[in-house]
């Protein structure tokens, strides 16, 4: 891995990390949707899969604009978060309890992504890349909305999980 000389280099490195995270999620979200029982939760995962595919496209266009390639970096944190999601999917559990467990995993993912986008939005501002700021803010907002809708789905699901 080559040395990071300045903020621009760190920006590209952080974008690669996000790209890896998002592409891993494109693979993982259908499995989360499949494992969910609550129809609202299932639909939420499916909706966020579509958004995640758009987020990958936004990152693609940013890499094109920078004349950089998106590959060559694995987001180890997302790999771990998805591994925890897979454990929950494989876990024997009452349906509502499993749903609550899937939400617990998914909200960790959304918070990780919110942190990642928050960082690159600030870098793009400092680097004077307003088109990137707009694109990255759109994805950041989708992550925040996804987190909020998981919180809202959890209201009923946690009640159902309490009954078992
Ligand atoms: Fe995302
Ligand atoms: Fe990462
Ligand atoms: Zn990384
Ligand atoms: Fe997300």
Per-domain boundaries in the chain: 7-163
Cα separation, 100 vs 155, whole angstroms: 10
The pLDDT score that the predictor gives to residue 1 is 60
Tell me the ligand closest to 116's alpha carbon. 2
Distance 99 CA to ligand 3 centre (A): 29
Tens-digit pLDDT string for the chain (164 aa): 679 999 999 999 999 999 999 999 999 999 999 999 999 999 999 999 999 999 999 999 999 999 999 998 999 999 999 999 999 999 999 999 999 999 999 999 999 999 999 999 999 999 999 999 999 999 999 999 999 999 999 999 999 999 98
This prediction's pTM: 0.96
Distance 146 CA to ligand 4 centre (A): 6
- Architecture of the structural domain at 7-163: Up-down Bundle (1.20)
Q: What is the structure's pLDDT at 164?
A: 87
Could you tell me the distance, in angstroms and rounded to a whole number, from the CA of residue 160 to the centre of ligand 3? Answer: 37
pLDDT of residue 163: 95
Concatenate the DSSP letters of all residues of 116-155 into one string: HHHHHHHHHHHTT-HHHHHHHHHHHHHHHHHHHHHHHHHH
State in Å: Cα 19 to ligand 1 middle. Answer: 9
Q: What are all long-range contacts of 102-107, with beta carbons under 8 Å and residues at least 24 apart?
A: 102/32, 102/35, 102/36, 102/41, 103/41, 103/150, 103/153, 103/154, 103/157, 105/32, 105/81, 106/32, 106/45, 106/146, 106/150, 107/147, 107/150, 107/151
């Amino acid at each position: 891995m080559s040395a990071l000389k300045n903020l621009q280099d760190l920006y590209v490195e952080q974008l690669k990390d996000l790209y890896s995270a998002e592409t891993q999620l494109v693979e993982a979200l259908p499995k989360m949707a499949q494992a969910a029982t609550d129809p609202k939760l299932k639909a939420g995962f499916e909706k966020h899969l579509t958004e995640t595919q758009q987020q990958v496209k936004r990152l693609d266009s940013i890499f094109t604009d920078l004349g950089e390639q998106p590959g060559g970096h694995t987001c180890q944190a997302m790999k771990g978060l998805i591994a925890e999601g897979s454990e929950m999917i494989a876990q024997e559990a009452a349906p509502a309890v499993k749903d609550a467990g899937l939400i617990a995993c998914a909200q960790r993912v959304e918070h990780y992504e919110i942190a990642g986008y928050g960082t690159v939005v600030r870098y793009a501002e400092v680097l004077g890349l307003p088109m990137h700021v707009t694109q990255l803010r759109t994805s950041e907002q989708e992550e925040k909305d996804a987190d909020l809708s998981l919180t809202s789905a959890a209201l009923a699901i946690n009640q159902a999980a309490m009954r078992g």
